Amino acid sequence: MNNKPHIVVIGGGSTGCGIARDLAMRGLEVTLVEQGNLTHGTTGRMHGLLHSGGRYAVADQIAAEECIDENRILRDIASHCVEMTGGLFVKRPEDTEEYFQKKLEGCKECNIPAEVLSAEEAREIEPYLARDIDKAIKVPDGAIDPFRLCVANAASAEEHGARIETHAPVVDILKEDGEVVGVEVEHETGPGKRVHREPGTREEIHADYVVNATGAWAGRIGEMAGLEQEIAVRPGKGVMTIMNTRQVDTVVNRCKPKGDADIVVPHETTAILGTTDVEVDDPEDYPEEQWEVDLMIDTLSELVPILKEARTIRSFWGVRPLYEPPDTGTSDSTDITRRYFLLDHENRDNVKGMTSIVGGKFTTYRLMAEEISDHVCEKFGIDAECETADVPLPGSEDFTILDDYMEQYGIRSPIGRRSTQRLGSRTDEVLDIDGPNPTVCECEAVTRAEIKDGIEGSGSDLNAVRLRTRASMGNCQGAFCCHRMAAELYDEYDEPIAYDAWDELYQERWKGERHALWGTQLSQAALKYSLHATTMNRDKDAATTDAVVDFAAFDSGTAAGAAGGAAGTAATDGGRTGDD
Amino acid sequence: MAIREDVIVIGGGLAGSVAAIEAAETGASVRLVTYKKSTLRHASGLIDVLGYNGSDDPIADPFAALDELPDDHPYSVAGEAAVRDGLDRFDEIVGDSYQGGHTDTNALIPTFSGAVKPTARYPAGAAAGIASDDRPMLVVGFEAMTEYNGAMVADHLEAAGVPFDVEGVECSFPGEYVNDSRVTRFAKRLEINENVDYDGQLMGAREALAAEIEPHVGDAQRVGLPAFLGDDHTDEVRTDLERHLGVDVFEIPMGPPSYPGIRLSDHLKDAVDAAGVRISAGNPVVGFEADDSEIQSVTVDSKGREVPYHAEEFILATGGLVGKGIDSDREEGVNEPIFDCHIPHPEDRYDWFDEQAFGDQPFAHFGVRVDETMRPLDADDAPEFDNLRAAGGVIGGGDTVAEKSQSGVSLATAVVAGERAGEQAAKHEVHQ
- Residue B22 binned pLDDT confidence (cut-offs 50, 70, 90): very high
Statement to judge: residues A350 and A472 lie in one domain: no
For residue B159, how many C-alpha atoms fall within 13 Å in the half-sphere facing its CB? 21
Residue A241's DSSP bridge partners are: A273, A315
B window 311-330, beta carbon within 8 A of A? 320-322, 324, 327-330
**CB distance from B52 to chain A under 8 Å?**
yes
Q: How far is B289 from chain A (nearest CA, A)?
A: 26
Classified as helix, coil or strand, A243 is strand
What pTM was estimated for this model as a whole?
0.93
Give the pLDDT of residue A570.
37
Contacts of B113 (CB under 8 A, 6+ apart): A483, A532, A536, A537, A538, A541, B148, B153, B156
Q: Could you read off the pLDDT of B109-150 as tens digits, one per residue? A: 999 999 999 999 999 999 999 999 999 999 999 999 999 999
Statement to judge: residues A521 and A422 lie in one domain: yes
Statement to judge: residues A270 and A138 lie in one domain: yes
| CATH no. of B112-252 | 3.40.50
Give the pLDDT of residue A1.
45
Contacts of A110 (CB under 8 A, 6+ apart): A53, A57, A61, A64, A65, A68
Statement to judge: residues A354 and A422 lie in one domain: no
Give the pLDDT of residue B237.
98
Tell me if A409 is assigned to some domain. Answer: yes
Mean pLDDT across A181-203: 94
A window 505-524, beta carbon within 8 A of B? 506-507, 509-510, 514, 517-519, 522-523
Give the pLDDT of residue B348.
94
- Counted across chains A and B, CB pairs separated by less than 8 A come out at 287
- Whether B31 and B7 have beta carbons less than 8 Å apart is answered as yes
Answer yes or no: do A506 and B106 touch at CB < 8 A.
no
Tell me if A225 is assigned to some domain. Answer: yes
Q: Could you read off the pLDDT of B27-56 as tens digits, one per residue? A: 999 999 999 888 899 999 999 999 999 999
Mean pLDDT across B348-377: 97
ipTM score of complex: 0.97
Residue B319 burial by CB count (10 A; 0-12/13-18/19+): exposed, middle or buried?
A: buried
The candidate with the shortest Cα–Cα distance to A251, out of A89, A135, A72, is: A89
Statement to judge: residues A273 and A129 lie in one domain: yes
Mean pLDDT across A374-402: 88
Which helix (H) or strand (E) segment holds residue B240: the answer is: helix B234-245
Statement to judge: residues A184 and A166 lie in one domain: yes
For chain B, give every domain's residue range.
3-97+262-431, 112-252
The percent of residues in chain A predicted with pLDDT above 70, rounded, is: 92
Give the pLDDT of residue B1.
62
Q: Could you read off the pLDDT of B270-326 as tens digits, one per residue? A: 999 999 999 999 999 999 999 989 999 999 999 899 999 999 999 999 999 999 999
Strands A263-267, A270-274: parallel, antiparallel or unpaired by DSSP? antiparallel
Statement to judge: residues A260 and A137 lie in one domain: yes
CATH of the domain at A129: 3.30.9.10
Q: Which domain holds residue A132?
A: 82-142+235-320
Classified as helix, coil or strand, B367 is coil
CATH pick for B3-97+262-431 out of 3.90.320.10, 3.50.50.60, 1.10.10.10, 3.20.20.70: 3.50.50.60
Tell me if A19 is assigned to some domain. Answer: yes
Residue B104 burial by CB count (10 A; 0-12/13-18/19+): exposed, middle or buried?
A: middle
Q: What is the mean pLDDT of chain A?
A: 91
Tell me if A54 is assigned to some domain. Answer: no
Angle between helical axes of A14-25 and A146-159 (0-180°, round to 10): 20
Distance CA A571, CA B59 (A): 27
Statement to judge: residues A225 and A291 lie in one domain: no
For the cut 60, the answer to whether the pLDDT of residue A561 exceeds it is: no
Statement to judge: residues A470 and A488 lie in one domain: yes
**CB distance from A441 to chain B under 8 Å?**
no
- Residue B18 binned pLDDT confidence (cut-offs 50, 70, 90): very high
Of the listed ranges A97-106, A418-427, B423-432, the one predicted with least confidence: B423-432
The candidate with the shortest Cα–Cα distance to A396, out of A51, A43, A68, A153, is: A153
Answer yes or no: do B105 and A553 touch at CB < 8 A.
yes
Statement to judge: residues A134 and A151 lie in one domain: no
Domain tally, chain A: 3
Give the pLDDT of residue A579.
36
Answer yes or no: do A538 and B115 touch at CB < 8 A.
yes
Answer yes or no: do B161 and A549 touch at CB < 8 A.
yes
**CB distance from B401 to chain A under 8 Å?**
yes
Count of CB atoms situated within 10 Å of the CB of A295: 18
Could you give phi then psi for residue A38, rounded to 5 degrees?
-55, 140
Give the pLDDT of residue A576.
37
Give the pLDDT of residue A568.
36
Residue A180's DSSP bridge partners are: A175
Tell me if A398 is assigned to some domain. Answer: no
Give the pLDDT of residue A566.
36
Give the pLDDT of residue B389.
98
**CB distance from A258 to chain B under 8 Å?**
no
Q: Could you read off the pLDDT of A141-171 as tens digits, one per residue? A: 999 999 999 999 999 999 999 999 999 999 9
The candidate with the shortest Cα–Cα distance to B6, out of B311, B294, B290, is: B311
Chain B residues in contact with A552 by the CB 8 A cut-off are 132, 163
